[in-house]
């Protein structure tokens, strides 16, 4: 339980830093009619986290020209390791990757890290920062957050949105 809270705290701090550092780019993409949703995934094998922005099937984004900010590789956590909360989370994910996991399968660890990421997104400070950055594109009702943000395992051990499960 204490380990859960510690990882959720680290993820919350990293998400808040990333939302602040990429605020203008997030607004650029989420305010476009082409915006569909965001997908975040813990890349366990690389001790990293990926955050991508998705277009509606019949649309294309006008890409953000500054900072080499591509919608398909919007945020790769390790690219922001100069931010102290991000550096701390990268170190924790790296340590998790190195641990024996005390008999837990890799699937259990992946499920746990994605569940912690979903829990961090549901925290009030992150919800407030998202609402501010997304200017009305973020649902007021936390139960509907999974319509805009998906926390998914891109290795396909789990075929569901962890935010849906967390609500």
Average pLDDT in the 64-78 region? 80
Which pTM does this prediction carry?
0.89
Query: Can you tell me whether residue 123 is helix, strand or coil?
Result: coil
Is the pLDDT confidence value at 67 over 70? no
> H helices of 1-152, where?
2-21, 23-30, 84-98, 106-121, 124-134
113-137: buried (b, 16+ CB within 10 Å) or exposed (e) per residue?
A: bbbbbbbbbbbeebbebbeebbeeb
Report whether 4 contacts 111 (CB < 8 A). Answer: no
Cα dist from 160 to 50, 101, 120, 151, 153, whole Å: 17, 23, 17, 8, 8
**pLDDT above 90 for 126:** yes
Domain boundaries along the sequence of the chain: 2-166
pLDDT digits 0-9 by tens, 1-13: 688 899 999 999 9
């Amino acid at each position: 339980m204490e380990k859960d809270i510690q990882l959720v705290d680290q993820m919350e701090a990293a998400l808040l830093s990333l939302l602040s550092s990429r605020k203008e780019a997030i607004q650029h993409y989420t305010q476009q009619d082409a915006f569909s949703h965001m997908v975040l995934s813990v890349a366990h094998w690389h001790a990293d986290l990926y955050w991508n922005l998705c277009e509606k099937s019949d649309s294309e984004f006008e890409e953000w020209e500054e900072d080499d900010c591509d919608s398909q590789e919007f945020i790769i956590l390790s690219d922001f390791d100069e931010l102290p909360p991000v550096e701390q989370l990268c170190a924790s994910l790296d340590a998790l990757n190195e641990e024996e996991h005390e008999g837990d399968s890799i699937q259990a660890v992946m499920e746990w890290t994605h569940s912690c990421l979903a829990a961090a997104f549901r925290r009030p400070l992150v919800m407030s920062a998202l609402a501010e950055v997304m200017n009305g594109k973020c649902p007021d009702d936390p139960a509907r957050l999974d319509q805009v943000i998906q926390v998914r395992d891109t290795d396909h051990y789990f075929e569901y949105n962890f935010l849906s499960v967390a609500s």
